[in-house]
Every structure is written in C-alpha cells, then in structure tokens.
Structure 1
C-alpha cells in the first residue's frame, strides 16, 4: 500500500468509527467516548501517514508528527505549510494537535456529556466526535491541495 492509500484508508476508518451508534444502554456514554478517542487515534495515524506521503522525496529517518511539525522539523515546503497551519488558531490542524496532546495525557480527549455536580465545566469542551468530523472534512481539502503541490514537483 502506498502512503497516499494508507492516508486515505485511515481517514475513512476514522470517519466510519465516528458513525458507529453508541446505543442506549448503560454503556452508551463510554462507548461513544471510546469511539471518539479511537477515531482520534486513527486521525493521528493518518496525520503521520500524510507526513510520510508529502516528505517521501526527502527520505527522512522518521515521521513523528511532533518532530516534523515542531520548530526543528525538516525545511520542506509542505511541512512548513502544515507548521503554519498548526500554529494558526482556529485551523483544523491546530484543533487536531491540541486533541492529540490531550489524547496522550492522563485525562484523555473524550468527555462525558454535561458536567457532573460540583465540577467546573471547561469552556469549549464540546463533543469530540462532531469536532473531529469537521476536522477530517477540512483536512481532506488541505490534503488534496498538498498532493497537488507535491505532484507539481
């Protein structure tokens, strides 16, 4: 499978996971949270696959998104474009990177609906699934543009 095919496959799988009904039993909330975090993990794999795809010509030793999108990442035009996007508040990549950091943290990225009594609700902590669905749609547009740029070279 090519990096392009793998990126497409992972994005599709993440979208499918977001569509799985949580049900209406006592495990529905946890099932929804698991599907959302699973889809987010697939989105992380898709991001790494995309980075491998757009840097194929550079033969980089690694494709970890933290390194490539960091300040010390390789000086490749496509990576700089993605770095700028990740730094721009409100962009799909900025949103995704923040959720990926949360996913790797102790609290995870998914949240229960509504705030429990005595807990302070965190602003902007809406349902992960709807935000991720929107993020994936925007990512596909950006990926198409990146692929077009790569083909020009």
Structure 2
C-alpha cells in the first residue's frame, strides 16, 4: 500500500477528485462542468443573486467565476445584468432554458448518492453533516494554527 493511502488528506483528495470525475461523466451530455452545475443548483434553490453572493456560495473567486458565468450566458442558461440603482452590482438570473435544466438534471444527485453507496436520505445527511464539521474544523486550523498546535503539544518554529 502506498504511504499516501494512510493519510486523511490524501483520502479526502482522492474522494473529491473521483467524485468530480463522476460528475464530469454524468454532466457531459449537457456539456456542463461541475462548477457550472453547482452554480445552476444554487440559482435553482436560491433564485437570482449578485455575482458576489454566488461566488461566496460556491467558494469561487471572481477570476474563476466571471469566465464561467460568461460561458453559461453564451450557452443560454443565465443572464447577467447590472442593477440600475448600483451599476457595480451584477445580478445573475436563470433563463427559461436554465430553469428547464433543473428537471433534466434531477437524476444527478440520485446517481451520485447511489454511486457513493448512500442508501437513503438519512445516510446522505450524516455524510453531509460530517463533511461540514470537517470543513469547519479545517477552517479553524487554517485561521488559528497556533491554537491547534498548542492543543496537540506540537512544538512549532518561532519567527
């Protein structure tokens, strides 16, 4: 067994990478990428919103988000319009085609859940909750590494 197989970080990396590849296969008939799909999911669930709020929800920076939205607009899935009361704010809204895709892509979550071996909504919720807890813990480590190092008794280099 390769040494990396014993690392939590590698297991997470491999699971993320393979899951994204599975989405790629499932979304290919629509010529959608995974980030485009999650943008659609967000707009279906939360409605029209600013580019800024969409970027925050998807955890994408504007350098990644803007070109992606431009491609989705060219494909006819959404529109981007500047607000008349504040032209700095760009609102993203689904087109009729973008709304239609919700039904066409409704099978995607079921396929991912089945592929992941999640037998029911409760098992999916448990996995999602555990991943959210992990995300928050890693944000805490990222934002407060000295606290985590001290709590584990790990010596750390001083500046």
Q: Same fold (TM over 0.5)?
A: no
Q: Which has the higher contact order (CA 8 A, sep 6+)?
A: 1
Larger radius of gyration: 2
For normalisation by structure 1, the TM-score amounts to: 0.27
Structure in which a larger fraction of residues adopt strand: 2
For normalisation by structure 2, the TM-score amounts to: 0.26
